Amino acid sequence: MTNIRVAGIAGSLRKASLNRGLLRAAVALAPSGMTLETEEIADIPFYDGDVEAAGIPASVAALASRIRAADALLIVTPEYNYSIPGVLKNALDWLSRVPQSPLSGKPAAILSASPGMMGGARAQYQLRQILNGCGLLLIGRPEVFVMNARDKFDPQGELTDGKTREKVGELLVALRDWTLRLGQSPRS
């Protein structure tokens, strides 16, 4: 089977974040025919048009290159004040400004985990709007909102809830199939 390469981004910088744990679980749950590699956004500077005019920062160019080399993108986001974290929005703003944006036309999926009852649904709604504006090709279903997330991870931050693991796996299969359906040519 063809191997799809997926770049995964966590929208939280905190090492013990539930969403970083969810991304780690996704890496482990990647189905046959998919390789999921995590990318970091911690060293992306604040977007500034003056900085952009002087040249794309090396950290932004490197991230853009790695995402461009991937066949698809997976974003795992927490919900902060009914929205996505500023660091995630900042990274997306930079990536949308890079010449030949690595986001445009890229198949993508999103996940979220929250200690609350909505599982990050409001953040996902806003993230979908942003990603559509960036030209990503988002899968619509399945949607995965991990609610009451603290109860679904062990003290080391590993996802232990079987039903949630199953849903994450279903989303990854859908992303793999969506990427193939869109005719993305996997890279070796």
How do residues 6-28 score in pLDDT, each as one tens digit?
999 999 999 999 999 999 999 99
Antiparallel, parallel or unpaired: β 72-77 and 107-113: parallel
Query: Phi and psi at residue 172, in whole multiples of 5°?
Result: -65, -40
> In this predicted structure, what is the pLDDT of residue 188?
41
Task: In whole angstroms, give the CA distance from residue 126 to residue 121.
Answer: 9
| pLDDT above 60 (res 135) | yes
Q: With 70 as the cut, is the pLDDT of residue 31 above it?
A: yes
Residue 40 has pLDDT above 90, yes or no: yes
Structural domain spans, the chain: 4-181
Using an 8 Å Cβ cutoff, are 78 and 11 in contact? yes
pLDDT tens, 173-182? 999 999 999 9
Superfamily designation of domain 4-181? Flavodoxin domain (3.40.50.360)
1 pLDDT above the threshold of 80: no
Q: Tell whether the model's pLDDT for residue 62 goes beyond 90.
A: yes
pLDDT at 183: 83
Give the model's pLDDT for residue 14.
93
pLDDT digits (tens, 9 = 90+) for 84-122: 999 999 999 999 999 999 999 999 999 999 998 888 999
Q: What is the 3-state secondary structure (H, E, C) of the chain?
A: CCCEEEEEEECCCCCCCHHHHHHHHHHHHCCCCEEEEEECCCCCCCCCHHHHHHCCCHHHHHHHHHHHHCCEEEEEECCECCECCHHHHHHHHHHHHCCCCCCCCCEEEEEEECCCCCCCHHHHHHHHHHHHHCCCEECCCCCEEECCHHHHECCCCCECCHHHHHHHHHHHHHHHHHHHHCCCCCCC
pLDDT of amino acid 27: 98
- Round the average pLDDT of the chain to a whole number and report it: 94
50: confidence class by pLDDT, cuts 50, 70, 90? very high
